[in-house]
Amino acid sequence: MKLRAITMVLKNFSRRKARLILSSIGLILAIAVIVSTFTVAHSMQIQIGAEVEKYGPNIIVTPKSESISVPYGSVVVGNVTIPESSLEKIYTIPNRGNLRAVSPKIYGQVEYGNSSLLVVGMISEQEAKLKKWWNVGGSLPQNDTNQILLGSAVESFLRSSVGSTITINNMTLTIAGILSETGSVDDYSLFLPLHTAQKLLNLPGALSVIDVGALCQNCPVEVMSQQIMDAMPEVKATPIKQAVETRMKAIEQTANFSLLLGSIILAVGCAGIMNTMLASVHERMKEIGIFMSLGADDFHLYKIFILESLILGLIGGLIGCLVGLVSSTIMGPLLMKTMISLWETPLYIIPLCIALSIIVCIAASLYPAWRASKIDPVQALRTV
């Protein structure tokens, strides 16, 4: 049998379980709020990042133009075009490693009967990389062929099916595929291979826009946009991150608010622990007197009180982390409509929160420990 400070602290705890649990509640709650907030926010950021990566371009490259005429979705395309020959310059930018897809396109309008149709010339595989949500019945048009892909609305208008042909501007085009409804301007478009569209629109070697997808969660899209503009002085590269940024900002604000809430609870928990420790000093007055009569000095008393708070912090931190992780899996889908995957939560949050919990507990115990060390041993021994 060995007597260590830890033995005394644990034995003392075991006879004061109720007090231990009560004093830990504030701490557990605070750590749980911090952990769950972090987990939910992190999970949402990952999901948004994945969405950004999966869907659509991050940068839209358009010609430098003052006049605006053709709208395409949220992007406006001018009459001026980008020479296709300068496309290669995009691959010279310093951040070229982050380029996921570079989809050059030509837009134009063609007359078909009494209607006008929106024609989009594209390189199928590049466009498909950007628009992973596309669901194509049949196949995408092969490059440099007369194959076309119809948007769902165009298909209903033309009443054509895969394999049939249509003739536009004396050019016979074979329908290779039909796009399922996307809810975007794509439903009203007629997609052709880039060079075929350039021929149809009589704009050889011209591009209206280059959609660029960058390959990471937090790509330096502004930097990349500038790099593209530096490499291609004739274009304007616009980073599309406003929507993402707004959502990220909303998450950040929610996370910050929750962290603030967690900090307040932590401060209250800290005050609670200090209060418990002070009460404990008062309750254990006699015990402190006995220790002093046996030769304990302030160092011994500090050691015992700090060890107690360390254990309290460790237990509170561990339980808080556990409660936080479990509650985030319940609260995430309920409040934030986000599925929480605990596997994606960075593990460093656990030791970080436990360390925070321990530091707070130790800080809360310093004043009570100091008070204990200043107790008059004789008065303490005389307490009942």
Partner 1 sequence: MIVMKDVTKIYEMGGAQVFALNGVNLEVDDGDFLAVMGPSGSGKSTLLYTIGALLTPTKGNVTIDGKSIYKMKPRQRAEFRRENVGFIFQTFELLPYLTALENVMLPLYLSGVAISKHEDIAEEALRKVGLADRALHKPTELSGGEQQRVSIARGIVNNPHILLADEPTGNLDQKTGNEIIQFLHKLNDRDGLTIIMVTHDPDKARLSNMVLQMIDGRVVEDEEPTYRKRK
Residues that bind partner 1 (CB under 8 A): 1-5, 7-8, 11-12, 14-15, 286-287, 289-300, 376-378, 381
Q: Are 244 and 48 in contact (CB under 8 A)?
A: yes
CA distance 20 to 169: 84
Pairing between β-strand 115-122 and β-strand 189-193 as defined by DSSP bridges? parallel
Specify the residue, 107 or 305, whose C-beta has the smaller distance to partner 1. Answer: 305
CA distance 46 to 156: 38
CA distance 352 to 364: 18
Specify the residue, 1 or 334, whose C-beta has the smaller distance to partner 1. Answer: 1
**Considering only CA atoms, which of 196, 200, 213 is closest in space to residue 52?**
213
Smallest separation (angstroms) from partner 1 to the CB of 12 = 6
Specify the residue, 44 or 277, whose C-beta has the smaller distance to partner 1. Answer: 277
Specify the residue, 112 or 302, whose C-beta has the smaller distance to partner 1. Answer: 302
Backbone dihedral angles phi then psi of residue 27, each to the nearest 5 degrees: -65, -45
User: Which residues, including other chains, have CB under 8 Å from residue 371's CB and lie 6 or more apart?
Assistant: 278, 281
Specify the residue, 185 or 381, whose C-beta has the smaller distance to partner 1. Answer: 381
Smallest separation (angstroms) from partner 1 to the CB of 246 = 58
Beta strands in the chain (DSSP E): 59-63, 70-72, 75-77, 82-83, 99-112, 115-122, 136-138, 147-150, 165-168, 171-179, 189-193, 206-207, 209-214, 235-239
Specify the residue, 54 or 374, whose C-beta has the smaller distance to partner 1. Answer: 374
Smallest separation (angstroms) from partner 1 to the CB of 309 = 18
Specify the residue, 12 or 182, whose C-beta has the smaller distance to partner 1. Answer: 12
CA distance 171 to 183: 29
Smallest separation (angstroms) from partner 1 to the CB of 2 = 5
Beta bridge partners of 168: 171
Report CA 186 to chain centroid distance, whole Å. Answer: 28
CA distance 160 to 168: 14
Specify the residue, 294 or 334, whose C-beta has the smaller distance to partner 1. Answer: 294
Smallest separation (angstroms) from partner 1 to the CB of 329 = 39
Specify the residue, 339 or 378, whose C-beta has the smaller distance to partner 1. Answer: 378
Backbone dihedral angles phi then psi of residue 102, each to the nearest 5 degrees: -125, 110
Smallest separation (angstroms) from partner 1 to the CB of 306 = 16
* Rg of the chain in Å (alpha carbons): 33
Smallest separation (angstroms) from partner 1 to the CB of 1 = 5
Pairing between β-strand 147-150 and β-strand 115-122 as defined by DSSP bridges? unpaired
Alpha-carbon separation of residue 315 from 202, 237, 324, 379 (angstroms): 74, 53, 14, 34
Q: Give the pair of three-digit tokens for residue 58.
A: 């991050």
Smallest separation (angstroms) from partner 1 to the CB of 220 = 58
Smallest separation (angstroms) from partner 1 to the CB of 359 = 27
